[in-house]
Amino acid sequence: MCGILIALSRKPLDRAHFDAARDTMIHRGPDAQQSVFLEADTVGLGHTRLSIIDLSNRANQPMQDGNLWVTYNGEIYNFPQLREELELAGCQFKTNSDTEVLLHGYRVWEESLCERLLGMFAFAVYDADTGCALLGRDHFGQKPLYYADLGDVFIAASEIKAIKACAGRGFALRKESVVDAMIQDFVAEPRTWFEDINVVPAGHQMRIERTESGSIRSAISNYWTFTPDANPQPITQGEALEQLGVELREATSSHMLADVEVGSFLSGGIDSTCITTLASELLDTSIQTFSIGFGGNDELPAARQTAARICADHHEDNLGEGDFQYFKDRALTVFDHPFADTSLVPTEHVSRLAARKVKVVLTGDGGDEVFGGYSFGRYLAPRLGPSPLLVPTVSGLRSSASFWWDALLFSALGSERWGRVTKDRIVNSRRLSVRRRSILAPELLQSIDGYDPSWAHRQHSIDALDPFRKAQWIGIKVALASRMLVKVDRASMAHSLETRAPFLSPRLAEFALSLPRPVTNPTPDWYKSLLRQWLDGRIDSSVLNANKRGFDLPKEWSSLDQASLASGEELLPNCVSAALIRPMGWHRLRRAPRLLWYFTQIERALDTGMFAA
C-alpha cells in the first residue's frame, strides 16, 4: 500500500511544493518517499511507500524502465504468472516486485494492461517518449485514484488532500453532494464533495496526453466490461458448491502473497470467519487475528471462539465512548470530506490495533455484496422482520400502509412477479423527499433544480436482471466503491496498514455473480445461502447461524450531546450562512442521528475552510 501523486503541467512544477504535497500522504507510505521530475519539470511523479513485496530499496518508486516510469499503489496478486509471461516475451526484470510487472506489461500490452491484472491497484505509467500517461484503477475500486483536470495542470493522487496541496488552491463545495449524502450517506463516484475533483471510476482507466497547443487532454474508458447474465447457464447446487470451494481457496491463497507477515481482521461474522479460517489452513504458523468490541452486546465472544478453534494468535480491544469521540473528531482529516458511516470508528480502532503487530491484514469485505447479503433480501420479499407499528403519526401511518400494500401484492403475485412489478423502487427510492426538502435552504434547492440524485443507480441499473440481482449489482457498482471501500482504505491507511479482501477477487466475484439466483439466494430469509452452505461444518454453527450485527455502535453514543440538542440554539450556523439548510433546520434531524452527524461534519468542514468560497 502506498500513496501516489502525478502532475502534468504547462509550466514547470515547484519541486519543493510538489514534494510537500506528496508528503501529505506519508501515512500511506512511511517506509520511503521519492519523486522524479521530467520534461523540464513539467511532469512530476511522487510516491510514498509501504513496503510489502520486495522490501529492498531497488523496489522503491517511482520506478523506471527506459522511457517508462510508474508510481503505483496496491498489490497485483497474479504478478508471478504475468512475470513468467513477460519473461517469455523477452522482458528482463531487476526486482522481485509486482511494480515492475506494470512497467514491462505496459510496454508489451499497452492499454490492454489493466485487463490482465488481478488485484487492487491505482497506478500511473508515464511514457517519456510520447508524453502520455495511463492511469488505471482496480475492478471494484479498492484503491483510490482522484484527479483534477484544471486546464493548465492535471493532477492525480491517492487522496484529495494531496491534490489540493499540489494545486495550491482550494476547491468549492459541490452543492449536489449535500443532497446525495442526505439520501444515500455518500457521494457516488466519479463525483466527490468538491467541484473540479473527480474519481477514476472502479474498473476504468484514463489516458492523459498533451495536445500540440500544450493543453492536456484526458479520456476515460471501461476495461472491466463484466455484468451479471440475466439468463445464466444452469448448474446444480453440488457443482456450484464444489467450484465455490476452489475459487475461495485460490482467492485467499493469492491474497496472502507478501514478504511480510499477513494477519486477519476477525469480527465474529461469517465473512471474516470464512477468510480467517481459510488463511489459517494455508499457514505453517498461527495467524494473528484482531477484533474490536464495545464492552457489551458485540461479536467478541464469537471472534474468540473462532480464534481458539484455529489456534490463532488473537488480539482484541474494547472501544469506549471516549474512543468514539476521538475518532469521530479525526474523520474529516482522514477522509478529506464528510463521512456518515459510524462504523468508520471501530474500523479505524481495529486498524490501529493491528498496525502494532503487522503491515497486512485480510478482511471479509465484499462478502455481502458478492454473495447477496442481508441488505438485498428486501428485493425478494416486501420486507423482512415484523411489520411497522401503527403509531399515531402521518409518517407512521404511511409506512404501515405501504408495508401492508406490499404484503398484499406479494401474496397475490408471488416473489418473482412482485419483484418485477416493484423493481423501479430500487432506483426511485433515491429521490429527495418532501421531508428532506423542508430541511434544505431554498437557495440550495433552487441551485440544484432538476438534479437527479438517482443518476448513479440508473447508470448501473440493468432492467433484464431480476430485482435481487439488479439491486446486488447496483450495490457493488455504487455503494461498495463509494462508501464501504472508501471507509476501509482511509481508516486502515491512516495507520499504515494494508487491507486485502479475497471476496473481491475478480474471478471469485464473476463466478458468484454468474450463478442462477435460485442457486445463490433461493429465499429471502437465509442470506448468502450458497456461502453458508459451503461453510456448514467448516465453521462453528453458532457463528454460521448468528444474526448479523456489523459494527453498529451503542445508540447512547451520539454525535451531539443531549444538552446541545435541548439548548434551542442554532447548532449549524455555518450551514445556515452558506445557504445549505434553513435556520434551525437541524430540529428536523434530531431523530435522524446519521444525518445529524453528517451535517455536523459539514459544519466543521465549513468552519475549518475545507471548502473554498
Tell me how far apart the alpha carbons of residues 292 and 320 are, in angstroms, rounded to a whole number.
Answer: 10
* 574 CA to centre of own chain: 29
**Quick one: pLDDT at residue 390?**
39
Tell me how far apart the alpha carbons of residues 320 and 435 are, in angstroms, rounded to a whole number.
Answer: 34
Element (H, E) at 293: strand 288-293
Tell me how far apart the alpha carbons of residues 25 and 157 are, in angstroms, rounded to a whole number.
Answer: 9
Torsions phi, psi of 378, nearest 5? -65, -10
Q: Which has the closest alpha carbon to 601: 341, 242, 356?
A: 341
pLDDT (tens digit, 9 = 90+) per residue, 25-75?
Answer: 999 999 999 999 999 999 999 999 999 999 999 999 999 999 999 999 999
| pTM for this prediction | 0.92
DSSP state of 296: S
Determine how β-strand 119-127 pairs with β-strand 32-38.
unpaired
pLDDT (tens digit, 9 = 90+) per residue, 204-214?
Answer: 999 999 877 77
Rg (the chain; Cα; Å)? 24
Helix (H, G, I), strand (E, B) or coil at 384: coil
Ranges of residues in the chain whose predicted pLDDT is under 50? 383-399
**Quick one: pLDDT at residue 284?**
87
Tell me how far apart the alpha carbons of residues 73 and 157 are, in angstroms, rounded to a whole number.
Answer: 10
**Quick one: pLDDT at residue 394?**
43
Determine how β-strand 313-318 pairs with β-strand 204-210.
unpaired
Cis peptide before 506 (omega within 30 of 0): no
**Quick one: pLDDT at residue 397?**
43
DSSP state of 94: S
**Quick one: pLDDT at residue 387?**
38
Q: Write down the residue that cell numbers 437465509 correspond to.
A: 526
Q: Write down the residue that cell numbers 440475466 correspond to.
A: 230
Domains of the chain (ranges; CATH) run: 2-172+197-222 (3.60.20.10), 237-374+466-544 (3.40.50.620)
Tell me how far apart the alpha carbons of residues 74 and 72 are, in angstroms, rounded to a whole number.
Answer: 7
Position 317, amino acid: D
Cis peptide before 62 (omega within 30 of 0): yes
CB 266, CB 276: distance < 8 Å? yes
CB 16, CB 89: distance < 8 Å? no
CA distances from 233 to 204, 516, 517 (A): 28, 7, 11
